[in-house]
Every structure is written in structure tokens, then in C-alpha cells.
Structure 1
Amino acid sequence: MARVSAEQLGTEPISKLLVRQAVPASIGILVMSLNVLVDSIFVGNWIGSIAIAAINVVLPVSFFIAALGMSIGIGGSSILSRALGADRREKALKTFGNQITLTLLVTIVMVILGLYFIDTLIPAFGGKGEIFAPAKIYYTIVLYGVPFLALCMMGNTVIRAEGKPKFAMVAMIIPSVGNLFMDYLFIYVFDWGMHGAAWASTGSYFLCFSYVLWFFLSQNSELKLRFRDFGLNLPILREISSLGFVTLARQAVTSVVYLLMNNILFGLGGEAMVAVYAIIGRMLMFALFPVFGVTQGFLPIASFNYGAEKWGRVRLSISTAIKYASALATVVFILLMVFPAEIAGLFLGDQPGMSAADLATNAFVLEHIPAAMRWVFAATPVIAIQLIGAAYFQAIGKARPALLLTLTRQGFFFIPLILVLPLYFGELGVWISFPIADFLSTLVTGYFLRREVKRELAV
């Protein structure tokens, strides 16, 4: 892999730079999303639709703990990128050291708490009835590997902040490929069922951690830490926390959404309806990978150039990122509107020996997914403005507007909508909440982004 210096973030043409940053990010997110998607297909076909629902119940808890690492990573990387842009290498090193220490401390405490309250958390997130037992198996095993995942999430954002997106891409590909291989081995060959699915996920986290550790210990990284860099520094911790809280709050709200959705849908249609949402949730992770890739590629470019006070390049990075992400989102929208039934059919298969109840559950899920998927993704062409706008404020270190805009879609609009609309429209009320929240949050974010550009980025 060609060596790339962080300084190139401030000199190369924005379009070329965004493509170079976004393509590896998109490929990495694609492979991770495919991993989640294929993992669900394997679990659905080899274990059953209830197993997919069980994993969906566990995801918000494990993802929240992993998001602690991501939030520390993104918050610290914003500081790190601006420090490198302003040629303050000492601060960059101290920030990275604090990121590692803070990630370890926080995630280990959260894992201990998560295991202690296991029998309370699983039912609270919709793990009721037949879902509880497989969810508990998966939750217990996966939670042990979550600190490794948190360190991977944190390290990946730092690799990207150094201007080395290809290495960050590989860090996302390795665990994804490893998980699929271990899925096949543990579930299909060894017939370990939910235990196999859980150990495959945990093993993939450790593979990712091993690669990230190698990167920072090798000559590929410009950040060579000293022992004193790991000592916690209060001003840096405050800055990491204020910016990282944006990402953490987003994931916390996402976990609340999972909790509400699983319980609301369980009340509307039992375990089968939870399975419908589980598959839709996988598509939400997978289908938008190019848009998320552009957003990830945009962050270090905006941070570095803002730190270097190159306002014209910052403005250009915003407009270019929105154009690229919107075009890709429109392509995704068309595919999902045309092929929802075919996509749903990939997840579930009728295996020999399946009970009549399992066959009925599969039929229910396949019948309900196409209409639900069309509603959920109805506003996809406009979401780029919301994602890039919220990411911009985080990239430049403005924590408060970043937090408010990040929470706009799910916190301010979506949660109230799913609490109210199903009372009047039933299942349809759940699904139409998605596009309404997307449109409203895009309008709000677009207004504040335009105002910020006019006020702060004038030449």
C-alpha cells in the first residue's frame, strides 16, 4: 500500500481526495454490511427466522458498547485531524493515547454491567417469548468480544484521520470475511446453532483488533506513542467527550429505537413482526453503504482543512460530498423500490424438517417485507444533506449543533412518530414514520448547514 501523508488532505483536489477517501471507506462499509447481511442469511436459513429476531434484540446493547469506542474515536479524531492540520503533533499524540485508555476503561465497565443485568436487558429490548433463550446465548458470548470491537472502531477512525483510508478499509474487511468463514464452520459444519453464530462474531472482533494493533505498531502509522501519552489529560478528555458524545448519543437513540420498535412490533404481530424489522434493519445497514462511505471520507478532509483555515476547500468539500452522496442514494433508492420481494427472499429458506409454525413465520415475514421496505426507504434520495450536514459540525469541533442535528432524525422526529402513528394506522404507522422523519430532519439540517457556511466560511 502506498504511503500517504496527512498533509495531502490540505493540498490535493477535493474531488480526487474525496474519491480516494470515500471509495476505501465505502468498500469497507460494504464488506461489513455484507457481513451483517450474509450473516443474517446464514442464520435465517440454517437456524431460523426466530434466530434473526434474537440477534436483532441483542444488537442495540452490544452496538451501544461498541459505539463507546466509535464515539471516542470520532471525537478524538476530529481533534487529531485539526491538530495535524495546525502542525501540533504533540497534541495529536496525547489525544490518541487518551483515546486508547478511555476506550478500555469505559467498555470494560459497560461489559460488566451488561452481563450483570442480562435478564433485565434482553426482555426490555424485545427478547420475549421464544426469542429470549437464543438471544441470551448470543448476548453472553458476544459481549465478551465487544471491548475488542470498541478498540477496532476507535482505531479505525484514527487510521482514517492519518489520511490512510486503504488501511482503514482493510481493518473493516478482515473481520467481515473472518466472520463469514467462521459462520460457515461453526453453524453449518459444527452445527453449533446460536453458539456458533455468537463465537463467529466474537472471533471476528479479535481478528480486527489484531490488525489495528499491527498497524499502529508498524511503520505505517505516523503516531508513535510514548508511555506518557496514555495518562489521562482532563482538557483533552473534555474535548473528546464533548465531540464523541454526538456519536454516542446517536447510538444511544438508535438503541432506544430498537427497544421501541421491537416492543411495538411484538405487540402488533409477535415474533414474526420482530423478524420483519430485523431484516429491514439489516438492509438499512447494507443498502446505504456508499452514502456512509462518502460521509466517512468527508470527515478528515473537512477537519484537516478547517484546522488549516482553508475555508474555500472546506466549502468545496461540503458541496462535493453532498453531490456524490445524493447521486449514490438515488441509485440505492431505485434498486430497493424495484426489487424488494427478491431481496426479502434471500433471507429465509424452507429447510427440510422445519415445523409448521416455523414455515408459517417465514411466510408471514416474506409477505410483509416488500411494502415495509418501500416505505422505510422512500426518502433515501434526500438523506445525504442530513448526514453530511451533521457530520460537518462534528468535523469542525462544534459539538452542540452536531449533537442537535444528529439527534434530529431519530430523537426529535422518529421516536415521537412511532409512538403516535401506530395508534391510528397500526403496522403502516410504524413504516411511514421513517420517510416522514427523514424529510423533516433533512429540512432542519439543510437550513443550519447553509447558515453556517454563509457565516463562517466566507472568503
Structure 2
Amino acid sequence: MDKTKQLGTEPIGKLLTQYSVPAIIAMIVNAVYNIIDRIFIAQYAGESALAGLTVTFPIMMLIIAFASLIGSGSASIMAIKLGKNDKEGVSQTFGNSLTLGSIVAVLFMIVCYPNMNFVLSLLGANSSLLSYAADYMNIILIGFIFQMTSFVLSSSVRIEGNPMLSMTSMLVGAITNIILDYVFIGVLSWGVKGAAIATVAGQILGFLVLLSFYMRKRSILLITKENFIPKFEEIKDIVSVGFTSFLSTIGASVASVFLNRSLITYGGNAAITAIGAISSLSTLFLMPMIGIQQGMQPIISYNHGSMFKDRVNKTLLLSVVVSSLFAVIVFICLQLYPEAFMSMFLSKESSTMQVAVTGLRYYILMLPGLGIGFIGSAYFQAIAKSKEAIILGSLRQFILLIPLVIILPKLFGLTGVWLSTPVADAITILATAVLLIKDIRTPYEKVLMKTN
């Protein structure tokens, strides 16, 4: 049954709820299992093990960057083609994205495995953290190909009008991870290796849930062997549209290297442990905004392909409003009760607690405006405006955050490290708002001329 036509006919509020709520639930559960990973590791393996996992964050972000590159790029193109009723083109994009994802995953593992200790040392792992980080990553890489293909399949089933299946996949993976965390870390005392095995097992089961949709021939796509043969133009389009996701994610990975090094320099292991806890907490509360991103993307892309600019603008504005209201509520809670949230990861008696509380308060200063930044960047990607999307994707991480992490600590010490993130966020939010206002005011005829 073809459910895609509802994207161009149903009320925007209903559609955004229908597509965003399952994504939000899945994102929150996904964030919760990442937090539970760290809680189990901190409680059963110690703060050094938690710091070791924090060092692996740039590699984890690199993995997500490649998955986002292909998953988000193919998602926007498929939805736009569906809006144009080009089902043959959608099928070709789908097949090429899976082929490209598999090739990238295999190449990534071939490069990383023989050089793992060297890479982790470059990322700031000292002798006390290296063994924890290597034990974790050597297992995590096994699940990369399942994570990669799941990104593509999850985006595809959402576009086909099945956001609940995408949610189910993430829930199965997350719940599996949580249960196995208890068994492997809490009961069997396998430490970071147990956390990694639990994560990979969850990824495999989540992938199988998505794969079953296509194995049961529930898809509207015309899947043939020919569609999996790489075609240069198709891959170029996928990479072009998805590059902003790759750039922003890889930028976060690179920036985190500079951030970790500055934290170790100006705050020692306590600061690096603190940012691990802060990052986990931030991830939990940012997931609903990412869920709204995922929910709005097929709606905007489909209606852009169908040339319904009024529906595109309504979806954008509603997404910004909902995201911003949520961000304001979270900001107030975190500023009022930082110790309560940090105690999920750190002992209240730990000397690290005060460092983490101070860092959290600085780190989230621009949280109320992040809804504009999150939604704006995803919007330009959804309508295949690569130029604007790439500008926003590179602005925060490469152009602003990395220089700020280098400059501000020299002026303000550890406080300067914490301030680098909200300063970068403030400038990026302002730039995003300017580009969004300009695009909303652009007549649709001019939009077509620039994107076709």
C-alpha cells in the first residue's frame, strides 16, 4: 500500500506529529541506552574506563558521519523523487545508497583495525586510558556495516510512510543493548568489552527488523539487481546532498579532539570525565530535536518535489517553534538542577562533580536557540540546497568552534574551554536565522531555478 501520498495532502500538524513522535521516542531511548552504557561502566569499571570511552568519541562520530552522509543524502533525494512520482528513480537511489554504504563500512574497518592504538593516541588517549579505548573500539567496528545500512533502511521506511517501523527498529536495538549491558557489565563484569558487545548485538537486531520489511515485500520500491550497481551520477547526488550531515558530524569529531586536548591541559582527567558526562546528558536532551528533524525531512522533501512551497514553509515554521519550546524547558531544568542530572554519572562526593556542574552550565548557554540551528540545517538539506547546507554544516565546527577552543582557553583557562561551545552556537544560530528568512521570502519560481 502506497502511504507516501499523504505527505502532500494531510494537515502539516498531523503529519509532523505522526512522523516526529516515533522518531523522538526512538531517539530518547537510543540516548538512554548510551547513558546506561556509561552508568554501568562508571559504576562497575570506574571513572578511568568512562574517560577511555570518552576518548573514542571522535571515532564514533566519524562512523556516524559516514552513515549520515549516505543515509540523509539518499533520504532527501528519495523523498523529492517520490514527490515527483519518480518511483524508478527512488529505487535506483535506494540500491546505490546501500551499495555505497557497504563499501564505505568495509574500507573503514580495513583502515582502522591495524592502526587502532596509533589513532587513539592521536585522539588524546594516554597510557592509562588506551587499553579501555582500544578494547571498546575493536568490537564496535564490527557493527559498523549494520549501523550504516540501518541508517539507509530507516530513512527509506519513514519516507514510505512507516515511521513506526523505524521506531521499532531503534527500540529493539536499544532494549537489547540495555538488557545485555546488565548481563555483560553488571553480572559478568566484562567492563568496556561487555558494553561494546551489547551495542553491536543491538545494532544487528535493529537492522534485521528493518530488513524484514523488504524481505516481506512490503515496500513500494522496485528493487532489482541493477539498482545496486553503482552509478556515478547517483552516488554524486547522494554525496552532494548528504555532505552537510557528514561535514557537521565530522566537524564535531575533529572539534572534540581539540576540546578533549584543551580539557586535559586545563582541567586534567576530571575535566575529560566531566565532558563525557555532559555529552551523554546533552545527547539525551537533544534527541527530541533530532527526532523532529527526522520527522520533518520527508514532509519537506516530498512537498518540495511536488512544488507545494506553502506546505514546505508551514512544516519548517512549526518544526522551529516546537523545537525551540522544548529547548527552553530543558535549559531551565538543567540550569536549576545541574547536580541532580550530573549525579546520574558521577558520585556527589566526587571531586569531578563541581567541575561537571560548572561545565554544564556554561556548555548549554545557547540551548534555547538550538532549535533554529538544528531545524535550519536539516531544512536546506531536505530541499537539496547543498550550498546553504554546507555553509551551516561547516560554520559551527570548523570555522568557529575549533579556533575558539584554541583561543578562549588562553584567555580564560578552563572556563574558556567551556565557553567555546555556546559562543560558536550563538553565531551559527544567527547565520541560520538569516538564511532561513531569506529562503522563506524567495518566490517559488526562483527556488525551482536554483534547485533544478
Q: Which TM-score band (shorter chain)?
A: over 0.9
Kindly indicate whether the alpha-carbon contact (under 8 Å) linking 1:318 and 1:388 is maintained by their aligned counterparts in 2.
yes
CA distance in 2, matches of 1:102, 1:453: 34
* Aligned equivalent of 1:282, options 256, 280, 290: 280
Match of 1:91 in 2: 89
Tell me how far 1:168 sits from its aligned partner. Answer: 1.0
Who is 1:259 aligned against? 257
For residue 354 of structure 1, what is the aligned residue in structure 2? none
Alpha carbons 2:64, 2:249 under 8 Å: kept: no
1:200 to 172, 188, 198: 198
Residue 19 of structure 2: aligned partner: 21
The one-letter code of the counterpart of 1:295 is: Q
2:409 is the counterpart of 1:411: no
Tell me the CA shift for residue 190 of structure 1.
1.2
3-state DSSP class of the match of 1:363?
coil
The alpha-carbon deviation at position 270 of structure 1 amounts to: 2.4
Question: 1:285 Cα deviation (Å)?
Answer: 0.9
Identity %: 31
Question: Cα distance, 1:67 vs. partner?
Answer: 2.7
1:66–1:147 contact (8 Å) kept in structure 2: no
Greater mean deviation of Cα atoms: 61-70 or 395-404: 61-70
1:359 — aligned with what?
none
Query: Would you say the 8 A contact 2:44–2:189 is kept in 1?
Result: no
373, 394, 397: which one aligns with 2:384: 397
Does the 8 A contact of 1:315 with 1:457 survive in 2?
Answer: no
Q: How does 1:16-415 map to 2 (within 5 A)?
A: 16-349=14-347, 363-415=350-402
Q: CA deviation at 1:349?
A: 4.4
DSSP 3-state at the match of 1:223: coil
Superposed displacement of residue 224, structure 1: 4.3
1:64 and 1:234 map into 2 onto residues whose CA distance is 24
The gaps in structure 2 that reach 5 residues or longer are 447-452
Matches of 2:393 and 2:213, distance apart in 1: 31
Moved over 6 A (4+): none
Using the alignment, how far apart are the partners of 1:457 and 1:281 within structure 2?
A: 40
Distance (whole Å) between structure 2 residues aligned to residue 293 and residue 332 of structure 1: 15
Q: Give the C-alpha shift of residue 65 in structure 1.
A: 2.2
- CA distance in 2 between counterparts of 1:47 and 1:96 reads 42
Q: 1:446 aligns with which of 433, 439, 444?
A: 433
Q: 2:292·2:323 contact (CA, 8 Å) conserved in 1?
A: yes
**What is the rounded CA distance, in whole Å, between the counterparts of 1:129 and 1:144 in structure 2?**
24
Deviation of 1:72 (Å): 0.5
Distance 2:378 2:19 in 1: 15
CA offsets 1:151-195 (integer angstroms, 9 cap, x no match): 112221222222221111111111111111111111111111222
Instruction: Name whichever of 94-103 and 222-231 sits farther off.
Output: 222-231
Give structure 1 stretches of 5+ with no counterpart. 351-361
Which stretch has the larger CA shift, 220-229 or 415-424? 220-229
Q: Find the counterpart in structure 1 of residue 449 from structure 2.
A: none
2:425 paired with 1:427: no
**61-70 or 50-59, larger mean C-alpha shift:** 61-70
Counterpart secondary structure, 1:210: helix
Q: Figure out how many residues of one structure are paired with residues of the other and give that number.
A: 446
TM-score, normalised to structure 1's length?
0.94
Residues 126 and 259 in structure 1, CA contact (< 8 A), matched pair in contact too? yes
CA drift at 1:296: 1.3
Following the alignment from structure 1 to structure 2, what is the Cα–Cα distance between the partners of residues 220 and 50? 47
CA RMSD of aligned residues (A): 1.6
CA distance in 1, matches of 2:230, 2:2: 29
For the Cα contact (< 8 Å) 1:183–1:200, is it kept in 2? yes
Name whichever of 258-267 and 10-19 sits farther off.
258-267
Deviations 1:214-264 (A, max 9, x none): 122224332241111101111111100111111111111111012111111
